[in-house]
A and B are shown apart, each in its own frame.
Chain A
Amino acid sequence: MATAFSRLPLLQPRSLDEALRLLRDEGPLVPLAGCTDLYVDFHFGTVGGRRFLDLQGLGTLRGIRRRGNTLVIGALATYAELIASPLVRRRLPILAEASRWVGSPQIQNRGTLGGNVANASPAGDTLPVLAVAEATVVLRRVDGERRVPFGSFYTGYRRTVMRPDELIVSIEVPPVEGRQWFRKVGTRAAQAISKVVMAAVRAPHPRIALGSVAPTVVRVPRTEAVLAGGGSLAEAQAVLVDEIQPIDDLRSTAAYRRRVSANLLAQFWSETGRKR
């Protein structure tokens, strides 16, 4: 398998403009960066194409910086870079924390934030964080750029609004007010795909997002509204288990995921409600 894969063509542009032209003129191409999903997908026969576009040479997609009040994370930022970044740890510590829960140090050294977003798995560990941070996905194509609010980036199971000629160049995160909270529940701490993953922000209007409980990562606005309106935790839990749509699959069951989601909501609420 690996040998057959190794013979497939890899285009290696030197600049973003060249990469975007190749995507438009030579497509369809599968962009690759950290490759932590790519080789696995190839084993499973789920790679989306036979020709590949290497993003590793595109320096403009690297780096984590601040622009005014906005945290700008290049699509090629690795989990290890997110964990080590003082800017991320100060502005969005739950993104650094989510990154520590991804795979293993070896995976964290290769996997990228842009890849986690583009791969569009409902179990992507950083996605609930970006959802509660109300991040913006910056997409570029040859003739322009568009900025997609994270909440409207996913259109269904492993589907996004991205066109085949577009690349994610960066993720922009506005300031987040309130106490941030994150927890992943998997079979074990490392190398586990989430059964349930939740990120939340304790603020006058709380923000809550979950992964692995619906076809895409989801915010739960009805649950948030109950808590914002002064409703009890029990009321919010009742709404939450109705608001998510988990399924039975090889990792867990719908019933377990509902129960754990409600438990995580309680944990978030009690831990962030304490005096500092």
Chain B
Amino acid sequence: MRFVLNGKRADVDAAPLKRLLDVLREDCGLAGTKEGCGEGECGACTVLVDGAPVNSCLVPFAHVRGRKVTTIEGLRSRLPEALVREGGTQCGICTPGIVMAAAALGPRPSAACVREALAGNLCRCTGYAGIVRALAGRRAAPHPRVRAARGPRPVAPGRPKRTRRS
């Protein structure tokens, strides 16, 4: 089956219901995409399909026929350096998924945007402050640690304002 993998044409023979995650790791030799929970809760396996982040553990291979798949190996981004600089990565299992989920954001996103974009990415090491610092627009804040500690009231990820008008 043909699709575009990290900008190059690919033709892979795999079962249609095989998870995209397994096709990437086993058939394409791209082990940068990690398996965490295997049920769409943790976001470690996030890749882009036609530019949109998805959990590759929940995507049957058949669904990427003719589509563009981007993995951490194919991403040209400075986000990983920013994560290292701000203490946004420790054990590293969640990091490729964090980077891919954030890659879909526009330039200089607000902290609230970052939190919502990463609402489906769990990290059990960092406590998220370093991650949000690394990915939010104002990277050059003078005292990032103090800012994070006092910070604005944490915005619950994915929580929109309630609609009050019809």
Q: Which residues of A contact B (CB under 8 A)?
A: 2-3, 5-8, 10, 12, 32, 34-36, 38-40, 43, 52, 54, 56, 80, 93-94, 97, 100-101, 103-107, 109-110, 176-183, 188-191, 201, 271-272, 276
Contact = CB atoms under 8 A, between A and B. Distances in A.
Contacts of A94: 163
A182 B163 contact: yes
Pick from A3, A106, A188, A191 the residue with the most CB of B within 10 Å: A106
B39 to A, nearest CB: 5
A13 B138 CA distance: 49
Nearest to A190: B119
B153 interface: no
A109 B163 contact: no
Contact of B16 (A3, A12, A107, A109): A12
Interface residues of B, number: 42
B163 to A, nearest CB: 5
Contact of B55 (A110, A179, A188): A110
A189 B163 contact: no
Q: Shortest 4 CB-CB distances between A and B: which pairs?
A: A104-B120, A190-B119, A6-B18, A189-B156
Interface of B: 14-19, 22, 38-41, 43, 46, 49, 52-55, 57-63, 101, 104, 116-117, 119-121, 156-160, 162-166
Contacts, number: 137
A8 B119 CA distance: 32
Contacts of A271: 162, 164
A276 B164 CA distance: 9
A80 B19 CA distance: 22
Contacts of B52: 80, 109
A35 B156 contact: no
A39 B19 contact: yes
23 contacts: A2-B38, A6-B19, A34-B58, A35-B63, A36-B58, A39-B39, A40-B40, A43-B39, A97-B160, A101-B160, A104-B121, A105-B101, A105-B104, A106-B40, A106-B43, A106-B53, A109-B54, A110-B59, A179-B165, A181-B162, A189-B119, A190-B120, A190-B158
A181 B158 CA distance: 17
A195 B126 CA distance: 28
B47 to A, nearest CB: 9
B40 A93 contact: no
A149 B95 CA distance: 46
Contact of A104 (B19, B43, B63, B166): B43
A21 to B, nearest CB: 20
A5 B17 contact: yes
A106 B17 CA distance: 19
Contacts of A189: 119, 156-159
Contacts of A183: 162
Contacts of A106: 40, 43, 46, 53-55, 101, 120
Given A105-B101, A107-B55, A191-B120, 8 more contacts: A2-B19, A40-B39, A54-B62, A104-B43, A109-B54, A188-B156, A190-B120, A191-B41
Contacts of B164: 179, 181, 271-272
Contacts of B58: 34-36, 38-40, 107, 110
